[in-house]
Amino acid sequence: MSQAAIIDGAGFAAGLRARVAEGVTAFRERTGRAPGLAVVLVGEDPASQVYVRSKGKATAEAGMVSIEHKLPADTSQDELLTLVRALNADPAVDGILVQLPLPPQIDENAVIATIDPDKDVDGFNPVNVGRLASGLHGFVPCTPLGCLMLLKDRLGDLSGLDAVVVGRSNIVGKPMAQLLLRESCTVTIAHSRTRDLPAVIGRADIVVAAVGRPRMIKGDWLKPGATVIDVGINRVPADEPGKTRLVGDVAFDEALSVAGAITPVPKGVGPMTIAVLLRNTLVSACRRDGVPISDGL
């Protein structure tokens, strides 16, 4: 029986981070300053704290300045908007990331809309959403851009391939579909109301799974040889009582004997998200200071 190649997202991310670090060195020599990333965390959600800590560490390792703002869970929308406006105006800040989700008293859309589109390294501001849809330069959300990098590394030219994106979120599904369309794929967005999901997935050369349901996509739904990108990060009970582990949206063990290649969870898409965030921050700093952006980013 054939065995899928396992796509080394963590390894690719390490390479991208090394290229970003080189780009940061060149940027510092040219401008005398380091790119700055501001990360705003509201509240004490333990998972969010883990992500923010790993982002801060990765930012420093790339030679950039990490500016962390931790606000209490009862922060008002006005207070958060005031901070975002101050970061917009701060010349040392090239990228702004407000960790999502936000507490219920805060309107996420209002916060995202307030971030300067030219510092919006998450690519969530509607101006950047529109730029992506219109084929203009802007910031592309980190997770889908990371998925696209892995796909192009694996497959080269994606033109004409059938791609199915499972999930229609603003953060992953919709921008992923735009990126695949930009690469001239034939794109289908499937979601919870899709009829006969196995049949839709069975036509796809590329499957991007971003539904947030553990092991929902079964191995025998896949077209033999398909390339599978699993964006899901789901915590489930482990075999050992009382312990948990991370699994994706795809039944990985089943998919191994059908797919041509598949990303694992963990060490697949997740590390790419952080590496692309650093990449977007360097790109932002270069654009703001009129420094050319090097190849390989």
Ligand X SMILES: Nc1nc(=O)c2c([nH]1)NC[C@@H]1CN(c3ccc(C(=O)N[C@@H](CCC(=O)O)C(=O)O)cc3)C=[N+]21
Q: Which residues of the shown chain bind ligand X in the complex (CB under 6 A)?
A: 51, 97-100, 122, 142, 233, 246, 265-267, 270-271, 273-274
Tokens 């990360």: give the residue: 39
Rounded Cα distance between 58 and 41, Å, is 17
User: Is 76 annotated in some ligand binding site?
Assistant: no
User: Is 268 annotated in some ligand binding site?
Assistant: no
CB of 292 to ligand X, least distance (A): 27
Q: Which residues are tagged catalytic?
A: 55, 99, 122
Q: What is the DSSP letter of 44?
A: -
Q: Closer CB to ligand X, residue 108 or residue 162?
A: 108
Tokens of residue 29, six digits: 């020599």
Phi, psi dihedrals of residue 24, rounded to the nearest 5°: -65, -40
User: Is 154 annotated in some ligand binding site?
Assistant: no
CB of 188 to ligand X, least distance (A): 25
Encoded amino acid at 198, one letter? P
Q: Closer CB to ligand X, residue 53 or residue 85?
A: 53
Tokens of residue 112, six digits: 């995202």
**Helix (H) or strand (E) segment spanning residue 284:** helix 269-289
Contact between 1 and 264 under an 8 Å Cβ cutoff? The reply is no
Which residue has the closest beta carbon to ligand X?
A: 270
Q: Closer CB to ligand X, residue 51 or residue 65?
A: 51
User: Is 245 annotated in some ligand binding site?
Assistant: no
- HSE (CB half, 13 Å, CA atoms) of 61? 15
Tokens of residue 64, six digits: 């950039």
C-alpha radius of gyration, the chain, whole number: 19
CB of 231 to ligand X, least distance (A): 9
Tokens of residue 199, six digits: 């049949």
CB of 119 to ligand X, least distance (A): 13
Encoded amino acid at 127, one letter? V
Q: Closer CB to ligand X, residue 200 or residue 277?
A: 277
In this structure, the strands spanning 186-190 and 162-166 are parallel
Annotated binding residues, written as ranges, equal: 167-169, 233
Q: Which residues are annotated as a binding site for NADP(+)?
A: 167-169, 233
